């Protein structure tokens, strides 16, 4: 069902898809699966680049919360019998330091409208009764209906297609989506538990980590193109979080709760350079041997050789 007040967003996403597809169509067959795979992947990458500042804001807020962990522990000990006062003091501490506990929701909220728009546009493309979809030219819509990834259509659903091969292909992408979802959540939960080991929500986070892959199986009702979008954004998130976590390791504190500076882990290029054999040091140049100087007897005057006095 399409909501008229979101048509402007659907039209914007459809226009971006059209531009990307037409750009690839200059050297790739418009109706080929490769063209539409590259179109969806490119759209995903562009969207993730646009919300990258939100990711950095989320990570910086999380880092501030990590640095405030010792103070939060003190507040918990002080107000252990007064949960309401504890929550007020913790929130005041976070606000004073500019940390937002809900900052982690920003990237997800930013992706949700794009996800809904992709779902609506691809579903509209799959409808054979529609010639134009949210302003997309008829030839672009037709090429999307003809495009296949290993014999599975871009707009095919697992339950709508009659081809067993298509079901297997869609099932493979759904399983990949489930795996990448699990790895993404595990990466985030592991970091959160390291940040606050005594967090009372740690057990619930672990349960969520193992339940989250099951939600990916709801994508059996999604078009194959949308599943591909989700797999791509999961892979992007995995790489993005690994890049940030390796350069911003968990802060450490001494017995007095003072922050200990921690060196970031070396990146991939640094590891490759480290693995390269060091060039052999050239031996220092040999010192020249000292010349042997023979002391020749000086020639004496004739008077000294004969022993006579010189007149």
Q: Residues 101-110: pLDDT tens digits?
A: 665 566 677 7
Average of per-residue pLDDT across 152-173: 87
Average of per-residue pLDDT across 92-112: 70
In terms of pLDDT, which residue wins out, 123 or 277? 123
Mean per-residue pLDDT over the chain, rounded:
76
The length of the chain is 311
Q: Return the bridge partners of 136, or none.
A: 133
Q: Give pLDDT, residue 1.
A: 44
CA distance 160 to 255: 61
Average of per-residue pLDDT across 1-13: 75
Q: Residues 246-276: pLDDT tens digits?
A: 877 766 655 555 555 555 555 555 555 555 5
N-terminal to C-terminal alpha carbon distance within the chain: 138
Label the pairing between strands 152-153 and 259-260: unpaired
Q: Residues 14-68: pLDDT tens digits?
A: 999 999 999 999 999 999 999 999 999 999 999 889 888 888 877 777 777 777 7
Half-sphere exposure of 183 (CA within 13 A, CB side): 17
Q: Give pLDDT, residue 215.
A: 76
Three-class DSSP labels, the chain: CCCHHHHHHHHHHHHHHHHHHHHHCCCCCCCCHHHHHHHHHHHHHHHHHHCHHHHHHHHHHHHHHHHCHHHHHHHHHHCCCCHHHHHHHHHHHHHHHCCCCCHHHHHHHHHHHHHHHHHHHHHHHHCCCCCCECCECHHHHHHHHHCEECCEECCCCCCCCCCHHHHHHHHHHHHHHHHHHHHHHHHHHHHHHHHCCCCCCHHHHHHHHHHHHHHHHHHHHCCHHHHHHHHHHHHHHHHHHHHHHHHCCCCEECCCCCEECCCCCCCHHHHHHHHCCCCCCCCCCCCCCCCCCCCCCCCCCHHHHHCCCCC
Q: Give pLDDT, residue 128.
A: 76
Q: Give pLDDT, residue 88.
A: 79
Q: Give pLDDT, residue 43.
A: 92
Considering 80-94, 165-179, 214-228, the range whose residues carry the highest mean pLDDT is 165-179
Q: Give pLDDT, residue 158.
A: 87
The least confident of 150-154, 205-209, 264-268 is 264-268
Q: Give pLDDT, residue 311.
A: 47
Q: Residues 67-78: pLDDT tens digits?
A: 777 777 788 778
Neighbours of 192 (CB within 10 A): 18
Q: Give pLDDT, residue 214.
A: 79
């Amino acid at each position: 069902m399409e909501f008229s007040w979101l048509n402007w967003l659907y039209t914007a996403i459809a226009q971006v898809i059209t531009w990307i597809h037409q750009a690839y169509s200059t050297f790739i067959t418009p109706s080929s699966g490769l063209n539409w795979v590259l179109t969806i992947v490119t759209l995903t990458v562009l969207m993730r680049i646009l919300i990258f500042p939100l990711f950095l804001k989320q990570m910086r807020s999380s880092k501030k919360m990590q640095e405030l962990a010792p103070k939060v522990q003190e507040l918990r000990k002080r107000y252990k019998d007064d949960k309401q006062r504890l929550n007020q003091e913790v929130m005041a501490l976070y606000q004073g330091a500019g940390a937002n506990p809900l900052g982690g929701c920003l990237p997800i909220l930013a992706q949700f409208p794009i996800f809904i728009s992709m779902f609506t546009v691809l579903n509209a493309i799959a409808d054979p009764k529609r010639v134009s979809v949210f302003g997309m030219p008829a030839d672009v819509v037709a090429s999307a209906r003809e495009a296949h990834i290993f014999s599975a259509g871009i707009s095919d659903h697992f339950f709508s297609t009659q081809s067993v091969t298509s079901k297997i292909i869609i099932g493979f992408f759904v399983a990949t989506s489930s795996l990448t979802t699990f790895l993404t959540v595990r990466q985030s939960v592991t970091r959160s538990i390291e940040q606050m080991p005594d967090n009372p929500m740690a057990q619930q986070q672990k349960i969520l980590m193992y339940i989250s892959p099951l939600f990916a199986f709801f994508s059996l009702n999604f078009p194959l193109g949308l599943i591909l979008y989700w797999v791509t954004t999961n892979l992007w998130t995995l790489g993005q979080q690994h890049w940030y976590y390796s350069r911003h390791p968990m802060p450490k504190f001494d017995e007095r709760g003072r922050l200990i500076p921690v060196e970031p882990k070396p990146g991939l290029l640094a590891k490759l350079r480290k693995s390269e054999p060091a060039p052999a040091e050239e031996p220092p140049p040999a010192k020249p041997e000292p010349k042997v100087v023979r002391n020749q007897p000086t020639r004496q005057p004739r008077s000294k050789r004969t022993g006579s006095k010189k007149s």
